[in-house]
Amino acid sequence: MYLQKLTSKDTIQLFSHTKGGGSKMLNLLPVKEQHLIKLLNLLENKTYNATSLQQILQINYRTLTSLIAHTNLIIAPIKIDKNQAGYYQLIIPPAYSIRYCYQVILANSIEFTIIEACFFEKLSLLTLSEKLFISESTLKRTIQKINSVLKEIHVRIDTKTMRVVGEETQVCNFIISLILEKYNDYTVLFDQEMMVFVENLLFEWEKEAATTLQFPELKKNKTLVTCHFLQN
């Protein structure tokens, strides 16, 4: 049954736990943002001194201090601070988590904004460049960069149709990973009638398969099925 294939667990890792090497999807971002993500993941559950961070990130002290200042600017009220022992730590206020940092980075990423627009909207190269306030040539270069990374998962942006294309399950798995990483309430992206239809469809599938999907697996699968309908 196609629905069984579609509701697989093979989502594509974007940012989470990309210590050291990490997900190749990190390469969609500029180098500075790649370092930012790696820094956040390093400090999520452990403290490091400046020397260790420099060695792991392969940057000098000046670049490290600049990176920390830049990071603190965009992830506030979360903050990277140095404790009395001289070790850097990630201070996360109540009601926040490191996921908030990922959401901010995704929201400000032109690369992921382009991918999202090409999946959810029907735009030409010109209209998308105007929407993003960039030139068509800059947009073309950015799409080339995006495609060079996405080829690892057999997905690409077709510059003629300006659509995200590739093996259907891979496209859906990638988009679901992006949506769940970026949005607290992913349902705002979809028509509510469609969401009700998908919920009913999954309910019938659960009965047929004699199983019950647990949250967050249910949340992921709702979005997977909805993405499938948008893709077709």
Same domain, 84 and 186: no
Same domain, 84 and 141: no
CATH number at residue 74: 1.10.10.10
Residue 42 has pLDDT above 90, yes or no: yes
Which of these three, 76, 98, 120, is where a domain ends? 98
Which of these three, 46, 76, 98, is where a domain ends? 98
Helix H or strand E encompassing 200: helix 192-209
Residue type at 180? L
Same domain, 140 and 183: yes
Which residues are within 8 A (CB) of 126 and not within 5 positions of it... i.e. 6 or more apart? 136
pLDDT for residue 25: 83
Mean pLDDT taken over the chain:
84
Same domain, 63 and 111: no
Which residues are within 8 A (CB) of 101 and not within 5 positions of it... i.e. 6 or more apart? 40, 75, 78
Which residues are within 8 A (CB) of 55 and not within 5 positions of it... i.e. 6 or more apart? none
Same domain, 121 and 42: no
Q: Is residue 136 a contact partner of residue 145, using CB atoms and an 8 Å limit?
A: no
User: Structural domain of residue 44, as residue ranges?
Assistant: 24-98
Residue 54 has pLDDT above 80, yes or no: yes
Same domain, 59 and 167: no
Find the mean pLDDT for residues 31-36: 92
Which of these three, 98, 120, 146, is where a domain ends? 98
Same domain, 77 and 178: no
pLDDT for residue 157: 97
Mind listing the pLDDT tens digit for each residue in 132-184? 999 999 999 999 999 999 999 999 999 999 999 998 888 888 888 888 888 87
Same domain, 93 and 176: no
Question: Total domain count for the chain?
Answer: 2
141 or 231: whose pLDDT is higher?
Answer: 141
pLDDT for residue 4: 47
pLDDT for residue 179: 85
Does pTM top 0.85 for this prediction? no
Same domain, 126 and 181: yes
